[in-house]
Amino acid sequence: MNKQFKAQNKRGIEWTDYTWNPVGGCQHQCRWEMPDGTIAECYAETVAERVARAAYPQGFEHHYWRPELLNQPLMHLEPSRIFLDSMSDLMGHWIPDEQVNQVLDVCRKAHWHTFQLLTKNAPRLKKFDFPSNVWVGVSAPPSFMFGKKLSLNHQARMATKMLDVLQRIDVPIKWMSIEPLSFDIAPLLVDSHLQWAVIGAATNGVKAYQPEPEWVENVLNVLGAQGTKIFFKGNLAWTPWREDFPAVQMAENIKNLEVLAV
């Protein structure tokens, strides 16, 4: 057991087992406007510039490459779900292709793990070949990005483009993080062909702002018709509760575990 690797999932991300960040920092400058008008910054930025300042001495927008962390998943033999960019965006335009490919090469070697990738820069996904054990996902657009406010129309167009790109990526599991669910995104999810979706409320620190019940119902109805598995973040007030994962990948993990045991 790699104790350092194990300790890295103390960030309250319920849908993963561990986080792994051989790249760090992000230039997207994501912000979310809360229903009361306050503005919440990216949680990773908050962590980097407060709790983990020693690891981000040049600020969160600086690009950090940590090749010494590349082999961590290979040292952890228990099949696990690993979020590979909780403190970055691996598809960010500032990250060199060589570094992205080194990360994906480790994912190929650590075939017994499931790696969860999440990006707001979907067009760059088309440049790379992803191993089948990488779940490729996109995030619902924020209220602000690169210092500019996004209108609802801009958010809708951005989400549509991301989902269109995602459909063209050759991986078994395609997913979307709809956290927060800040507008009625359901019409954009028709024929999205997602295998998994994470739904959450808007948060600013410890305060949570629940989405309109109709928005949640609409997403559940649209994705339910497509057989998409749903995972609710702990900040969402909803019943009946859901914490489902794509079964196909779970079966593959068990198979890989049996291979390792031989």
In tens, the pLDDT along 43-85 reads: 999 999 998 999 999 999 999 999 999 999 999 999 999 999 9
For the chain, what is the domain count? Answer: 1
**190: its two tokens:** 């028709």
Average pLDDT in the chain: 92
- Whichever domain contains 98, its CATH number is 3.80.30
Domain span at 130: 3-261
What's the average model confidence in pLDDT over 110-135?
Answer: 98
Give the whole-angstrom CA distance, residue 78 versus residue 19.
14
Query: Residue 250: pLDDT above 70?
Result: no
Q: Please give the pLDDT value at position 155.
A: 98
Calculate mean pLDDT across residues 188-200.
Answer: 97
What's the rounded Cα separation, in Å, for the pair 13 and 171? 23
Mean pLDDT of 20-32: 97
Q: What are phi and psi of 139, to 5 degrees?
A: -100, 145
- Whole-model pTM: value is 0.92
